[in-house]
Structure 1
Amino acid sequence: MLPVMSAFHLLSASTTLGAFLPPLDSLLSTQGIMIALLVAYAVAMWMFLTSAPKVHTVMVSDLQIAKEFYEGLLNLPVADVPLHYYYNYEQTLGTAGIDPLYMSASPAPRSTSQYSSGSEGLWYQLKKNVQVHIISGASYGRKNRHRHVCFDRDCLESLLLRVQSRRLRFKVRSKRPLNFLVKDLDERIIELAEVTN
């Protein structure tokens, strides 16, 4: 009687397992594999995009002075270029067709070699998942001040907090749009300005 009982349990278990095989069969079909690959690709892209750092771009009048300011005075750590900047990310947004003279505040013509592409310039870590990309291209301000212009208020507020925490001499000229002056150790005045649309 024992062999008959175990055969009955085996038959009963195989019919229960058979109830799950049709969905498993469709999952292993070509269409099921394609859907699984698309879902895996979507998850991978979501993880890549959410882990990519937010990048603020600051345009400066002198890249060497900016390097001394951000590395020396503000003590910002140098950051690696984000992965999406290796693949001409800015050009995919449609900014490749903008004439560099249109973006300049000075009427003097400049060669296109002075304008940087995606990964050139200076890269600094501002916060945990926030980076600052420093590029040349801003004009000098009044009284030959070094200018650093940015379109993002959050970036300038973070830089102002950094200036305050380092106990540097500064003066806020206006709060909206944010504009402040910082004096470096060589007595140069650096103007940081928010550009509004």
Structure 2
Amino acid sequence: MLIAASVMPFLLAPLTLGSFLPSLPLDSLFSTQGIMVLLLAAYAGAMWMFLTSAPKVYTVMVSDLEIARQLYEGLLDLPVAEVPLHYYYNYEQTLGAASVDPLYMSASPSWSNKMMNSGNEGLWYQLKKNTQLHVITGASLGSKNQQRHVCFDRECLDLILMRVEVRGLKFKIRNEKPLNFLVKDYEGRVIEVAEVAN
């Protein structure tokens, strides 16, 4: 038994919005409550896209910003990065400020004022595709007035050490856990790069 059916009328029929929606009455979808639910869903989707596209940011505190610029831009050849959008809102400035080891802080009493001003101060570099380095002042000088760069994230220091090795700079690992190594720049300055243990 063979049944003949024509699909042409179905393909040529105009499709309406109701043909894509489940069997909900359109008046409930376009009510105040329905529109609020649609707006909340759109907002949640936009926030998810914003947060998943935001770069991971590592922060390094240094004792001298100009020497840090010479190291990261000159010797390590890191590309300068734009300040991520989520850093304009200063939410990260209060994270970890109370748990910083005083040994790594400068003696300047105005340190907290410098730190809390704005998230776009300091230097910004691109470490990897979706990973940035934020260099700020705040670390004290090391022994023999060595420059000191401190960071809370081991992964950040591993990326910096890998860059030092690739660029062929002289370095010496002083300690593995927490990571602490020395880098010598072309002017003979020794820069201590240290992980701060939480």
Structure 2: runs of 5 or more not aligned = 1-17
Q: Deviations over 1:4-34 (max 9, x none)?
A: xxxxxxxxxxxx97x9664333212211111
**Structure that is richer in helix per residue:** 1
From the superposition, tell whether residues 160 and 36 of structure 1 become closer, same or farther in structure 2 (CA, over 3 Å).
Answer: same
Q: Deviations over 1:125-177 (max 9, x none)?
A: 00000000000010111111110000000000000000011011111111111
Residues paired across the two proteins, number:
178
Aligned pair 1:137/2:101, yes or no?
no
Superposition pairs of residues 35-74 of structure 1, within 5 angstroms: 35-74=37-76
From the superposition, tell whether residues 56 and 187 of structure 1 become closer, same or farther in structure 2 (CA, over 3 Å).
Answer: same
Instruction: Determine which structure has more spread, i.e. the larger CA radius of gyration.
Output: 1
Query: Which range is displaced more, 115-124 or 45-54?
Result: 115-124
Q: Deviations over 1:51-96 (max 9, x none)?
A: 00111000000000000000000000000001011122225x5668
Q: Residue 107 of structure 2 contacts residue 140 of structure 2 at CA under 8 Å; is this kept in 1?
A: no
From the superposition, tell whether residues 90 and 183 of structure 1 become closer, same or farther in structure 2 (CA, over 3 Å).
Answer: same
Separation in 2, partners of 1:83, 1:125:
15
RMSD: 2.6
Q: Residue 141 of structure 1 contacts residue 191 of structure 1 at CA under 8 Å; is this kept in 2?
A: yes
Superposition pairs of residues 68-147 of structure 1, within 5 angstroms: 68-91=70-93, 93=94, 98=98, 103=102, 105=104, 108-112=107-111, 114-115=114-115, 117-147=118-148
**Normalising to structure 1: TM-score of the pair?**
0.81
Aligned pair 1:195/2:196, yes or no?
yes
Q: Residue 147 of structure 1 contacts residue 191 of structure 1 at CA under 8 Å; is this kept in 2?
A: yes
Report the 3-state secondary structure (helix = DSSP H, G, I; strand = E; otherwise coil) of the residue aligned with 1:186. coil
Q: Residue 74 of structure 1 contacts residue 166 of structure 1 at CA under 8 Å; is this kept in 2?
A: yes
The ranges of structure 1 where at least 4 consecutive aligned residues each deviate by more than 6 angstroms after the TM superposition are: none
Structure 1: runs of 5 or more not aligned = 1-15
From the superposition, tell whether residues 94 and 172 of structure 1 become closer, same or farther in structure 2 (CA, over 3 Å).
Answer: closer
